[in-house]
Amino acid sequence: MHNKKVGVLIVNLGTPDAPTSLAIKNYLAQFLSNRRVIETSPILWWPLLHTVILPFYAPRLAKIYQSIWMKDGSPLLVYSQRQQKALIARCLPYISIELGMSHGSPCLIKATKKLLSQNLTKLIILPLYPQYSASTSAVVWDTVADILKKYRCLPSVYFIRDYADHPAYIDALKQSIERSFKKQGQPDKLIISFRGIPKCYIKKGDTYPERCEDTYHALHNALAWPKNKMIMTYQSRFGYKSWLTPYTDKILKKLPVQGVKHIQIICPGFSADCLETLGEIKQQNREIFIKAGGEKFEYIPALNDEPTHIDLLEQLITMNTK
């Protein structure tokens, strides 16, 4: 009998349970109350969050969520579940794989406790954020660490910090882009758009932009695509702080004036399609580009449950099970 018992915790950000204002309010209240995500003092932040931000944003986001919602639920949840299912089919019987969300359902705490109840010899924590940030990956660590404090007998713990320039990740992105080029033709510019974070987080020591640049440069080298035809940008800013630049939407607005009529855009920081890719990029940013005079806008989907993506995730798991 195999004496190993490995638990794998795959984790993503989270999603509302339904495309309704109430469900979105509940989700955002949890997400935007996390001190790793919003570093403002709760005394100042929480009254603003509950009296101004949630009542204003929830109804607006509900309309966008309704436009991208899939038959089986939120895209982020559907694709994450497909990733889990694909990994279970590939991994050895002594490896248990659970899916958890840092915010919302399925609950990360419950998923962790379910694995720990199996007398693990090893726990592998795999946040599905290719580029490390304290506002994403570290949230996962905080949650799991708080749970582990309550257990007397602990397994070995392996935290996969990120995989920004892992060869299998870069190859999966490359193949995805090449498929798009083959289908849609080569664009005037290829936009590489990452999720943004406030600049003040960088001043405090977050290495996120360095890891985004690592992905960008590795992808450029793999594609052998002219560097003057690639642009790295940041999306999804929120509030009034200064965020990482250049901003994706601002760049898209300027490009048609410069003669750029056909762009394709990929968001390598998202392991599964979600509100920020399908709503913000595919819908809102497309509209910005076309209104500014652009003619062809193609969004290249996240890696989701593509076999090349599952290959990568399987490699990340198996290299830590030996």
Kindly report the CATH number assigned to the domain that includes residue 276: 3.40.50.1400
Least confident stretch, 92-96, 97-101, 253-257:
92-96
* Angle made by CA atoms 241, 245, 251, in degrees to the nearest 5: 120
What are 273-293's pLDDT values in tens digits?
Answer: 999 999 999 999 999 999 999
Count of structural domains, the chain: 2
User: pLDDT value at position 224?
Assistant: 87
Confidence of residue 238 (pLDDT cuts 50, 70, 90): confident
Could you give the maximum distance between any two Cα atoms of the chain, in Å? 67
Please name the helix (run of DSSP H) or strand (run of DSSP E) that holds residue 97, with its range, or none: strand 95-104
Let me know if residue 236 belongs to a domain. yes
User: pLDDT value at position 239?
Assistant: 74
Tokens 């099970």 map to which residue? Answer: 321
Let me know if residue 1 belongs to a domain. no
313 with 210, same domain: the answer is no
* Separation CA 192–CA 212 (nearest Å): 10
Structure token pair of residue 280: 């913000």
Query: Average of pLDDT values for 21-38?
Result: 89
User: pLDDT value at position 43?
Assistant: 82
Let me know if residue 136 belongs to a domain. yes
Range of the domain at 144: 6-163+307-318
> What is the dihedral sign for C-alpha 182, 185, 188, 190?
negative
* Separation CA 141–CA 127 (nearest Å): 9
22 with 157, same domain: the answer is yes
Confidence of residue 2 (pLDDT cuts 50, 70, 90): low
Of 128, 115, 117, 169, the residue nearest 12 (C-alpha): 128
User: pLDDT value at position 1?
Assistant: 41
Let me know if residue 137 belongs to a domain. yes
Let me know if residue 190 belongs to a domain. yes
61 with 158, same domain: the answer is yes
> What is the dihedral sign for C-alpha 294, 286, 193, 226?
negative
pTM of the model: 0.95
Let me know if residue 92 belongs to a domain. yes
Query: Average of pLDDT values for 194-223?
Result: 96
105 with 178, same domain: the answer is no
